């Protein structure tokens, strides 16, 4: 796990190094040091036209794995952020073909695999990664991001497409001399709608990010402007309804067990201590149990968060699992007293506006884990593989009624009659919606009419139309299969993985997610829906695959989620912060946004309604963007 950064195209005409770019390389290394505190190295290649930098968190081959790493004649150079889990098998195949290795690192595998297969090397990789490969002979820079977007990669095209700068985090890109820091209005609209900015946009017009499973090729000397920079998706989650006969339920359970074990086995490869996050939920229990099965005599550490509110606190369940597994278990208590000391710094650290309040306890747990371990395994991805979100298993409970003629119209009428406050509005809302409405979860009208000033509504509309177009890519599938695919394509890489990467790397901690294995996800999401949903619960298949010792109160408990008490915080600890964001804290955003609707939401929130998500997004946005420029 590391930070990577570089610039290609500087000094193209003369081959000379540019002092401002070399100074930026030092700044980028400093700004990304939290991602790799164990070492920092820089390289000038291609006659000074390409500069590469790497901040290292040493995990594999502690003595010999420094980067950048080149091939024998130093015409190919690689920097990597992440881990290639199947590097041992790939290394053996490459040695058999005559390649010579100078290190035992996973990164060097990329050098020789690129020599063999070029850009198609991505097809062979099982890992989480953001990588950059410089090919001096072809005068090309090649960038790629892993399939599920576990590792980030930002870039900016400068000088009319003749120069490209890239980095693991946007803070390094923004520090590049002369970069345009004007706001991207469509991206702001997308953030207010869903709580994150989906790739390829960022909240700056000049900066873009690779999507999960996307690659980029940059050749600054190409005559055709379009040929200088091209991007393409080499992989994305797809559910194919091929009509093949599924395995029996019993065979599916055994196959899930075997696939999870194999995925965990590969992710236990490390030269430093490994632990596991353990919430006491189904996903993290499955991963921790797999570690114990693979390493029966080895003690390992588990970590969980605890909260004052017993309705949110999962620590007692985690304690039960840890006791059975015999782990060294650590509970990290997070209260309102822990929030304000890290509030501003963590919002700034995420660079882009990011609306998931669980980033605060996530960072607290990562910081505590880093005192003991350098690598942690998590249960992220279990919901996307096995149908863990409430909207998905709500389908199972009501899907027969939803397809009864006239039920949608009747449910719409009942909901309108009783109003949203009625206790049955939840299931009425589900019954009254079409498959498309279930997939389209944001309120476009509220975002456009309530927040944006008239001069910017058209630009905001562009961003929301992009969200709709992205959601409609999954309409070919019936609900909830469309939701399986959509969450794996967008919510997972753009929210879950962003939260985990920034929080863990702020603490210089590597997080690995065994469920994020393409073959495992493809197998699970192509199984019959009845395997996943039972008695109003999701992840029934994964629950069945848990070891026999797991007690019913863990195996069959409802999904709770990692949710701190934001509703209370906005009425107490964050009240003054919210008031400032609605008044004097808007800065340049006053031209773009009208605070009146948000003020009304806040008034209602203080009076007892819950508008936590919308208000927190507003608060984060004003903190991150108040000093940026619009025009």
Active site residues: 2
Residue 80 in contact with residue 129, Cβ under 8 Å? yes
Do residues 113 and 128 make contact, with C-beta atoms less than 8 angstroms apart? no
* Angle in degrees, 0-180, between the axes of helices 185-194 and 612-625, rounded to the nearest 10: 150
SS3 69: strand
Distances (CA, A) of 129 to 202, 379, 481, 495, 612: 20, 18, 27, 17, 34
| Angstrom distances, CA of residue 499 to CA of 350, 352, 410 | 8, 11, 40
Classify residue 538 by its DSSP letter.
S
CB 612 within 8 A of CB 570: yes
Query: Among 426, 395, 400, which residue's Cα sits nearest to residue 534?
Result: 395
Cβ–Cβ < 8 Å for 130, 81? yes
Judging by beta carbons within 10 Å of its beta carbon (0-12, 13-18, 19+), is residue 190 exposed, middle or buried? buried
Looking at the DSSP bridge assignments, the partners of residue 44 are 51
With a CB cutoff of 8 Å and minimum separation 6, the contacts of 357 are: 563, 564, 566, 569, 612, 616
Mark out the alpha helices in 419-456 (DSSP H runs): 425-432, 435-439, 444-445
Going by C-alpha positions, the residue among 216, 35, 71 that lies closest to residue 140 is 216
Q: What is the SS3 assignment for 470? A: helix
- Number of continuous H segments (helices) and E segments (strands) in the chain: 28, 17
């Amino acid at each position: 796990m590391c930070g990577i950064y570089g610039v290609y195209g500087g000094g193209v005409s003369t081959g000379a190094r540019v002092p401002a770019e070399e100074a930026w390389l030092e700044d980028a290394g400093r700004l990304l040091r939290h991602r790799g505190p164990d070492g920092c190295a820089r390289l000038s290649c291609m006659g000074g036209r390409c500069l590469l930098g790497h901040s290292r968190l040493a995990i594999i081959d502690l003595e010999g794995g420094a980067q950048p790493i080149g091939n024998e004649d130093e015409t190919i150079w690689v920097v990597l952020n992440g881990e290639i889990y199947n590097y041992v098998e790939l290394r053996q195949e490459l040695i058999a073909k005559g390649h010579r290795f100078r290190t035992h690192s996973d990164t060097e595998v990329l050098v020789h695999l690129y020599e063999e297969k070029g850009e198609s090397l991505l097809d062979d990789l099982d890992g989480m990664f953001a990588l950059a490969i410089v090919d001096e002979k072809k005068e090309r820079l090649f960038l790629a991001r892993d399939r599920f977007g576990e590792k980030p990669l930002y870039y900016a095209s400068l000088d009319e497409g003749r120069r490209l700068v890239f980095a693991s985090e946007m803070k390094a890109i923004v520090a590049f001399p002369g970069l345009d820091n004007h706001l991207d209005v469509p991206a702001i609209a997308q953030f207010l709608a869903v709580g994150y900015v989906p790739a390829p946009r960022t909240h700056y017009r000049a900066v873009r990010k690779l999507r999960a499973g996307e690659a980029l090729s940059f050749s600054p000397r190409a005559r055709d402007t379009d040929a200088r920079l091209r991007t393409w998706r080499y992989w994305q989650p797809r559910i194919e309804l091929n009509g093949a006969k599924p395995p029996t339920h019993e065979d599916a359970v055994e196959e899930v067990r075997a696939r999870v074990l194999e995925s965990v086995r590969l992710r236990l490869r490390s030269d430093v201590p490994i632990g596991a996050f353990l919430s006491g939920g189904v996903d993290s229990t499955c991963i921790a149990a797999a570690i114990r099965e693979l390493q029966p005599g080895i003690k390992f550490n588990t970590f969980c968060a605890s909260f004052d509110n017993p309705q949110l606190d999962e620590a007692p369940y985690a304690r039960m699992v840890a006791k059975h597994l015999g782990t060294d278990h650590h509970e990290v208590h997070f209260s309102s007293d822990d929030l304000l000391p890290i509030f501003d710094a963590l919002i700034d650290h995420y660079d882009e506006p990011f609306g998931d309040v669980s980033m605060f306890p996530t960072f607290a747990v990562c910081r505590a884990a880093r005192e003991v371990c350098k690598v942690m395994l998590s249960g992220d991805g279990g919901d996307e593989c096995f149908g863990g979100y409430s909207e998905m298993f709500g389908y199972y409970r009501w899907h027969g009624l939803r397809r009864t003629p006239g039920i949608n119209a009747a449910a719409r009428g009942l909901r309108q009659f009783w109003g949203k406050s009625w206790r049955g509005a939840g299931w009425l809302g589900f019954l009254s919606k079409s498959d498309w409405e279930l997939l389209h979860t944001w309120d476009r009208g509220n975002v456009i009419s309530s927040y944006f000033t008239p001069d910017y509504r058209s630009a905001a509309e562009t961003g929301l139309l992009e969200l709709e177009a992205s959601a409609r890519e999954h309409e070919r599938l019936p609900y909830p299969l469309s939701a399986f695919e959509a969450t794996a394509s967008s919510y997972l890489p753009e929210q879950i993985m962003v939260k985990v990467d920034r929080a863990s790397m702020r603490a210089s901690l590597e997080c690995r997610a065994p469920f994020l294995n393409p073959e495992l996800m493809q197998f699970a999401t192509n199984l019959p829906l009845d395997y996943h949903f039972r008695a109003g619960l999701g992840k029934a298949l994964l629950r069945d695959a848990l070891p026999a010792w797991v007690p019913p109160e863990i195996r069959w408990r409802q999904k709770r989620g990692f949710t701190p008490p934001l509703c209370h915080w906005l009425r107490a600890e964050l009240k003054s912060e919210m008031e400032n964001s609605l008044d004097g804290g808007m800065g340049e955003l006053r031209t773009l946004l009208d605070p009146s609707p948000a003020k009304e939401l806040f008034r209602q929130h203080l009076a007892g309604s819950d508008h936590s998500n919308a208000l927190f997004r507003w608060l984060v946005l004003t903190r991150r963007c108040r000093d940026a420029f619009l025009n």
